[in-house]
Amino acid sequence: MRLELLTIGTELLLGHTVDTNSAELGRSLAGAGVQVVRRSTVPDEPEAIRAAADEALRRTRAVLTTGGLGPTADDITKRVIADLFSRPMVYHPEIWESLVERFARFGRVPSEKNRGQAEVPDGATILPNRWGTAPGLWLEGAPGLAILLPGVPSEMRGLLQHEVLPRLVERAGGRVVRSRVLRTTGVPESSLAEAVGEVEQGIAPLSLAYLPGVFGVDLRITAWGLPPEEAEERLAGALELLRSRAGRWIYADDEVDLAAVVLVRARERGLRLATAESCTGGGVGRRLTAIPGSSEVYLGGVIAYDNRAKTELLGVDPSVFNREGAVSEAVARQMAEEVVRRLHADLGVAVTGIAGPGGGSEEKPVGLVHFAIAGRGGTTAWQQVFPGSREEVRARAEQAGLSGLLGRILGMQ
């Protein structure tokens, strides 16, 4: 089954509200076997809503709208849709009564402004809204199917899960959209694509998308409108093919953070970890501690941002700053070794670099980061140059530090 989304709201177009409803709708509908073929956003204006709903119904014969069902003046979706379906509006006293009751629970009385909420297009199924005041509506007729939901995220979610998805799954009849992700890091999109090669034919009818981001490139494989078992079987085959070609860069087959993978692998081996960060300023620690249960593995560490902190908290010899600079292999090594020693950790990672925008030189450009890992098995060090803004250099450095740590952990039995 195919469907279009129509989200209504001037504030969405102005960008004052990020449209999180659409992402949630996309995921939930795909899981139920409904393919969203287009999404449109229009302002709270009857003509704009009418034109967009009309086009969507003509193109796809099914539209789901969010927004424009509440009591205020810009709530007009319901009337526009009634008009497109040539249905009169009908007053439902039971909607009004449940509204009065809901208001009474908070010690209030609905105003006459709310009375319009009890009017719905003739023939529409009323989807009861336990999370707010305006019910959802399900309307079928000559133009196709229209599903109207409120724009408030919690109300949209409640109606979607309890009223809309069950009805849609029934209509879709067994077919689903399923997808899997393989996460890679440390390889640019073009090199990854070369290693993977022309697999599109081999995995058809599944599709493959490359999703580059600051932490690496995700590979997403999607099965469209297949019976559930066939989808799972084909996905498993495609994952195996991709793993055989790009396995060396893959760190997860799910949308988890690299920090979570590091924690799982370290816990398996009974390792305790520590961090010593300069340019990332605590970002590696923050990502590790974002995972519930991280305290079993992660001890803590030092944010050695200023040289004074490198010396006072990690005993880095001040003469090294003069000789080698704070961004150097020598400093990274001392930081990693010292944090491991002070915390009695099994492994520690150190990150020191130039995040920019200032502070770069010809010899040591913005984006240069030195890493070291110390602990069981000795100390190793490496350097990388990352592109992008200060924020991106820091994010890439976090990721590379965690990736180095994971490599070291995986090498230990």
> Which residues inside 223-252 make contact with a copy of itself, applying CB under 8 A?
none
Shortest spacing between CB 360 and a copy of itself, in angstroms: 12
Which of 281, 329, 335, 337 is CA-nearest to residue 310?
335
Our finding on whether 383 is near a copy of itself (CB under 8 A) is no
Q: Which stretch binds a copy of itself (CB under 8 A): 7-15, 83-91, 327-335, 369-377?
A: 7-15
- Name the amino acid, one letter, at 395: A
Residue number with CB closer to a copy of itself (74 or 119):
74
As given in the structure block, the two tokens for residue 1 are 């089954």
Site string for a copy of itself, 49-68 (x = CB under 8 A): ---x--x-------------
The one among 277, 327, 328, 404 contacting a copy of itself by CB under 8 A: 277
Which of 289, 309, 286, 295 is CA-nearest to residue 394?
286
Shortest spacing between CB 276 and a copy of itself, in angstroms: 10
Contact 65, 204 (CB under 8 A): no
Residue number with CB closer to a copy of itself (173 or 292):
292
Residue number with CB closer to a copy of itself (51 or 126):
51
As given in the structure block, the two tokens for residue 410 are 């995986």
Shortest spacing between CB 197 and a copy of itself, in angstroms: 11
Q: For 281, left (φ over 0), alpha (ψ -120 to 50), or beta?
A: left
Residue number with CB closer to a copy of itself (169 or 309):
309
Shortest spacing between CB 122 and a copy of itself, in angstroms: 25
How far apart CA 289 and CA 51 sit, in angstroms, is: 49
Segment 72-111, which members bind a copy of itself (CB under 8 A)?
Answer: 72-74, 102, 105-108, 110-111
3-state secondary structure of 335: helix
How far apart CA 63 and CA 48 sit, in angstroms, is: 15
The one among 53, 252, 260, 279 contacting a copy of itself by CB under 8 A: 279
Total Cβ atoms within 10 A of residue 167: 15
Which of 38, 40, 42, 50 is CA-nearest to residue 13?
42
How far apart CA 351 and CA 348 sit, in angstroms, is: 10
What one-character-per-residue DSSP string does 34-66 give? -EEEEEEEE-S-HHHHHHHHHHHHHHHSEEEEE
The one among 46, 54, 61, 71 contacting a copy of itself by CB under 8 A: 71
Shortest spacing between CB 87 and a copy of itself, in angstroms: 26
Which of 85, 146, 93 is CA-nearest to residue 119?
93
The one among 144, 283, 348, 401 contacting a copy of itself by CB under 8 A: 283
Segment 181-200, which members bind a copy of itself (CB under 8 A)?
Answer: 181, 188-191, 193-194, 200
Residue number with CB closer to a copy of itself (49 or 409):
49
Q: Which stretch binds a copy of itself (CB under 8 A): 226-234, 337-345, 370-378, 402-410?
A: 337-345
Total Cβ atoms within 10 A of residue 405: 27
The one among 27, 58, 171, 248 contacting a copy of itself by CB under 8 A: 27
Total Cβ atoms within 10 A of residue 175: 19
Give kind and range of the element (H or E) at residue 301: strand 298-303
Which of 342, 345, 365, 343 is CA-nearest to residue 355?
365
The one among 125, 141, 286, 329 contacting a copy of itself by CB under 8 A: 286
Q: Determine the Cα angle at 98 with ends 93 and 99, to 5°.
A: 95
The one among 309, 325, 379, 380 contacting a copy of itself by CB under 8 A: 309
The size of the interface with a copy of itself (CB under 8 A), counted in residues, is 116
Residue number with CB closer to a copy of itself (48 or 87):
48
Segment 102-161, which members bind a copy of itself (CB under 8 A)?
Answer: 102, 105-108, 110-111, 113-114, 131, 152, 154
Residue number with CB closer to a copy of itself (85 or 398):
398
Residue number with CB closer to a copy of itself (88 or 130):
130
Segment 205-224, which members bind a copy of itself (CB under 8 A)?
Answer: 207, 209-214, 220, 222
What one-character-per-residue DSSP string does 174-201 give? T-EEEEEEEEE-SS-HHHHHHHH-S-HH
